[in-house]
Amino acid sequence: MMWQDNFREWQNDAELDETLKRELVSIKEPSELAERFGGYASFGTGGIRAKLGVGTSRLNFYTIARATSGLADYIQKNNEGELSIVIGYDTRHFSRDFAVLSANILAAHHIKVYLADHVIPTPELSFLVRHFQANNGIMITASHNPAIYNGYKVYDADGGQITLDMANAITAEIKQYDASLLSLPINYQQISDNSIISLNEDIEQLYLEQLQKVSRNKQMITQSGAELNIVYTPLHGTGERLVTLGLASLGFKNVHVVPEQAVKDPDFSTVHFPNPEFPEAFDLARKLGQEQNADILIATDPDADRLGVAIKNSEGHYDLLTGNQMGALMIDYLLRSLSPTERNQYDYQVVKTIVTSDLGANIARKNYCQIRETLTGFKFIGEQIEQIEEAHDQTRYLFGYEESYGYLIEPYVRDKDAIQAAILTAEMALDAKLNHKSLLQRLHELYEEYGYYSEKLLTKTFENSSEADQLELKIAALRQEPPKQIGNLKVKRMEDFENSQSTDAEGHVETIKLPKSNVIKMILDDDSWLAVRPSGTEPKIKVYLSAIGVNELSAEQTLKQLEDFATQQLLS
């Protein structure tokens, strides 16, 4: 069906939701109508993430009903016995409405629904799926995206984000509803079925009990937790309750929440992007940190699965650490916290993605800990955890992380968990302070021991399909004729995850034993590397750079060479 046909169908529907009808009338540009009605927001391994608004490619009551109807059919066809699902939602526009709509549709399909009656973090949803032994979970969230976005994330019975195979199977069911989209029920104003079980805030006590497992030194916190001065911002999202209760329950009593950003504001009015990866997200936290003389600043994104951390430096300012740096510090602390008995008895495993820095991996290997590498996306880390647990041997999970500020310490959750990460970060900072140093100083000690690492992420957003096509041609050319040298360093190996091949400088080929993915990674002689990956959720390309040097200057020089190559060959 052409976009014009879709548009006329919506335009002529007398029963169209009034809010969407008003928006539809206001759109005059054919190009915008074509974008809105030319297709559907794709359903991938992270579910759907799209702008809110009228149209088949946007998230609205009809497209949510379409996705949920297909998911309900999938659950019924692939499971036996009593069927159940858990639904959570964040602070964004329409999140509660979308959750109630989904609950009503699933209940009508004779699926028991556990529906949160308040906003909850994404990691809590993952935990609740496992706790209730549900078939699936739905989280209505767009994570750290701007306010115009919302999303529909689907979880499997293990509490992890669904795999590609499951996503494809659910997509096939969803597409059955394309022709009947506007006739789907859109009851979102009230819960209409007694098989929908409401979950109030009391349910969070179960999560908080598990959270105690994260701490490696409760006695230290009990005795000295008040000595660490913490400023925390939930960035208008879902993290405040569990983060503050979790910190307080262990003994961190000196916690100051940024009041302006404790407000559950769907417009995220105090930040341009509610993303703790961006220094600007810490502006109000920095101000409060200076007033309170805080040792550390911590921020969680709106659905509280990502954690950002800023540490006071010797000049009294706050330096934002990268996800790679925090992951390395966490690995270091977790390994130092193991008892001699634990080290001797178990084979500990760290799981990281292929675009995450090697610093953490090198720390782990030097301490006799195994590394598992996965594709980008925490669902793959969740799969590795499941494999580790199913082995029933001496193998034990220690830690999983990715460079984009996602960490998981205790696997009672199967997704990245900023609440857990906030607890461990506070404990690490206290441990450092009691040893008369900061986490920044500990990080530089690691650099002295393992080499200096410098990383950077370059991104380019596509303005139109022509730009996307041109970039695909450049990536194809890179595959066909990879460079022999970048700057003054030779390329010793190229890893092509789309073709599952790793080729060294002499032409020897090895098979990459990971699922196929449109990623190219070039490793240089000194183990610095560059990786190219189109985003799976947004119209953009990402280029990851990781440089290694004997000191900070040499690492930065190598990073500059990587950046120049990426800019000239791919992003210009």
C-beta neighbour count of 288 within 10 angstroms: 19
* Cβ pair 522, 491 in contact under 8 A: yes
Distance CA 10, CA 56 (A): 9
- Tokens representing 15 are 């029963």
Name the amino acid, one letter, at 154.
V
Q: Are 336 and 454 in contact (CB under 8 A)?
A: no
**9 contact partners, CB below 8 Å, separation of at least 6:** 182
Instruction: Single out the catalytic residue among 57, 143, 517, 546.
Output: 143
State yes or no: is 143 an active-site residue: yes
User: For 361, phi and psi rounded to 5 degrees?
Assistant: -65, -40
Which positions ≥6 away from 262 have C-beta within 8 Å?
233, 234, 240
**Euclidean distance between CA atoms 454 and 321, whole angstroms:** 12
Residue 196 and residue 108 in contact, taking contact as beta carbons nearer than 8 Å? no
Structure tokens at 28: 């005059």
Integer Cα distance of 388 and 395 in angstroms: 6
Residue 423 phi, psi dihedral angles, 5° rounding: -65, -50
DSSP track, 284-318: HHHHHHHHHT-SEEEEE-TTS--EEEEEE-TTS-E
Are β-strands 347-353 and 395-402 bridged in parallel, bridged antiparallel, or unpaired? parallel
As annotated, the active-site residues are 143
